[in-house]
Amino acid sequence: MKMHTAGHLLSSLFYSRANCRITGNQIDVDRSRMDFNLESFDRTQIEGYVTEANELITKDAPVKTYFLERGEALKLPDMVKLAEAAPPAEAQLRIVEIEGIDRQADGGLHVSHLKEIGQIQLLKLENKGKTNRRLYYDTQNPVK
């Protein structure tokens, strides 16, 4: 839940700050990864997004879920942050919203407040091709 919600937070920042979309990911208990299409491999820029995510975690925000009709949800410009995937062809989509920060169609498990994530620790960055970048991360103890 912590890793998955951290992925939402990071993808929101990459999308809103650099217009990046997620091209792949693997959420796991000990370490997760996210691939995204960023034009230049700028470590400082990427590290800045992780720092900003951690600042948002300390400010906290509720994470809520609800359902929207598919057509209504897909009219919202920031709903889908995946480069090559669309939400399932269901009449209603489950929406995960980090209040005031992000909303995405998603069916996974999430924390109920950002502080439950703890801190996002950047483990490794890789340049995977012309515009494909990979970020490995972990989450640490929850912020009190």
Q: What pLDDT, in 10s, does the model give residues 22-62?
A: 899 999 988 999 999 998 889 999 999 999 999 999 999 99
Domains of the chain: 2-139 (3.30.980.10)
The CA distance from 4 to 28, in Å, is 9
The token pair at 90 is: 């269901």
* Residue 88 DSSP class: -
Q: What pLDDT, in 10s, does the model give residues 73-112?
A: 888 877 777 665 666 678 898 999 999 999 998 888 999 9
pTM above 0.85, yes or no: yes
Sheet holding 63-69, edge to edge: 63-69, 92-98, 102-105
Q: What pLDDT, in 10s, does the model give residues 108-139?
A: 899 999 999 999 999 999 999 888 999 999 99
